Chain A
Amino acid sequence: MAKRYLILEDGSAYAGEGFGAGATTSGEVITNLNLLGYQETITDQIYHNQIIIFAQPAIGNVGINHDSYESILPTAKGMVVRDVTNISTNRLSRLSLDEFLQQHNIPGISGIDTRHLIRKLRQGAGPMKGSIVDVADAHAFDQLNATVLTNRQVDQVATPKPYPNPDTGKNVVVIDFGLKHGILRQLSERRCNVTVLPWTASSQDVLNLDPDGVLLSTGPGSPLDLGTGVLDMIREVQAEIPLFAIGLGHELFALANGAELKALPVEYHGSSHPIRRIITNDIIYATQGQGYAVIAKSIDRDRLITTYVDLIDGTVQGLRHRDFPAFSVQFFADGAPGPHESRDLFDEFMEAMTAREG
């Protein structure tokens, strides 16, 4: 395998071995602390334009499986791992990680001291750009420094056109900001008749479909870059129909209801933090992936109730509207990858829809 380098904005360079595509890419470098689930992670659109450093040291062990996609066309910019195995004969898979990355033009680099990088980045070295390159010379650093990352991530990954995912149950509209398939799987398991709409849909577009419920999906990038139209849509819809928002959707729901957001000094992607469900005072675990958090002090207590909180970093993890059956969670309630106990929230959503019918 070819010798390649991971170079970072702070001037550091790490030698490793390339796998996947041979492309030279740049992106924001982030760390993922999950124990398993590399396929779900690399295909999740929240990692659009990002280079993911994996804490799990051995990657690729179970190949690529048909039922572990979170999107079909991954748009992450790279994988940084300690050790990669390219297995393609594992029971469900017909494809190795290496082949998969080649097909999608995503480079990987192995043989990297990922633990060192994670410790460094977690200690506030801050959001940092990086590149996977063939030669770590001045030119490569110049290129990296000159790279301007787009802030139109949602436009890049969300569907431009509506499409259905028919079934026989509740009529649910999903607003796509960079949807992960886990959300659709959870709705399918509950027999929901889903229509996915582009994120630019107006409240009229939504209400025309006469939905029983509306779900705001996960997605990449900053919620502050999406304008106010989407916030209007949320406000108008939540007053009429049960609403459930996840990830980026949650951040938008918070903004729509007067709360403010802050960018975290370092993005957190993991599933080991205990999250307190305030109403029952119990603990759940869920996969989290966030670069922003709702500022607790900014929450208007006459409009929103805080429903979940991260016990490790204190971030707000869930909100609910006081006047409407509208609620949101920061973490990925679909549990793909990661713990399943938060899938209960989809049942809550179903029951909110049922209750509205009376």
Chain B
Amino acid sequence: MAKVVVDAMAMQRALTRITYEIIERNKGVDDLVILGIKTRGVYLARRIASRLQQLENVTVPVGDLDITPYRDDIEHDAQTEPEVTGANIDFSVEGKKVILVDDVLYTGRTIRAAMSAVMDLGRPKSINLAVLVDRGHRELPIRADFVGKNIPSSQRERIRVSVSEIDDRDAVEIQQA
């Protein structure tokens, strides 16, 4: 039985707050670029960018990072490192303030892979991490700068994020394995 822990309204608000926090933390939007981690992080990244556009009337570049499937709802070998398998970034990250966006922060391995990928592309001024959900159970010393919602979870539970662009609705659900 899945339980909705973040509904559509709350998800909208979380992204709104993250957007404002990005402005607060970065003293504006100069030099900002946003990279969404596939699949759902990409849509969240675009929504943050569109909010920034609405507020500041500035177009912030958005790119995608494709990481090997590394889902926390299937059995996986903790030793296997996720890899970046593609990037759709038509701008330079050199000297930029990069905001990485993902839906769920779990072990931290995906983010580590994403950071390596960004570093391969150039030398950004800074990298910050925004996630919709932080569910705990980190295996690496990584933490998010912007968190939509902390959902302390057991490792047996599954966290499912739906975004209306591809899932027909906005929601975060928690499922007992």
Say which residue of B24, B27, B54, B147 sits within 8 Å of A278 (CB atoms): B54
Query: Closest CB-CB distance, A13 to chain B, in whole Å?
Result: 51
B window 21-51: CB within 8 A of A:
21, 23-24, 27-28, 51
Q: Is the CB of A280 within 8 A of B17?
A: no
Partner of B14, one of A278, A323, A351, A358: A351
- Which B residues are in CB contact (< 8 Å) with A321? 24
Q: How many residues of A contact B (CB 8 A)?
A: 20
Contact A348:B17 (CB < 8 A) given known A278-B55, A322-B27? yes
Highest count of chain A CB atoms <10 Å: which of B19, B21, B55: B55
Give Cα A279–Cα B19 distance, bound, in whole angstroms: 9
A-B pairs with CB below 8 Å: how many? Answer: 48
Return A326 CB to nearest CB of chain B, in Å. Answer: 10
Query: B41-81 vs A: 1/0 string, CB under 8 Å?
Result: 00000000001001110000000000000000000000000
Inter-chain contact A355/B16, CB cutoff 8 Å: no
At the interface, yes or no: A347 with Cβ under 8 Å from chain B? yes
Is A344 located at the chain interface by the 8 A CB criterion? yes
Given contacts A320-B20, A355-B21, contact A281 B54 (CB under 8 A): yes
Q: Which of B21, B28, B56 contacts A325 (CB 8 A)?
A: B21
B120 to chain A minimum Cβ distance, whole angstroms, is: 30
Known: A278-B55, A279-B54, A280-B51. A305 touches B13 (CB 8 A): no
Asked whether B163 is an interface residue with its Cβ less than 8 Å from the other chain, the reply is no
How many residues on chain B are close to A (CB under 8 Å)? 19
Instruction: Check if B13 sits within 8 Å of A347, measured CB to CB.
Output: yes
CB within 8 Å of B: which A260-299 residues: 278-281
Complex contacts, A351 vs chain B, CB 8 Å: 13-14, 17
Indicate whether A279 sits within 8 Å of B51 (C-beta atoms), given known contacts A322-B23, A355-B17. yes
Name the distance in Å between A96's Cβ and chain B's nearest Cβ: 39
Q: With the chains together, A329 CA to B23 CA distance in Å?
A: 19
Give A237 to B55 CA distance when docked, in angstroms. Answer: 25
Residues of A within 8 A of B1 (CB): none
Cα A324 to Cα B21 with chains together (Å)? 8
Closest CB pairs A-B (n = 3): A279-B51, A279-B54, A279-B16
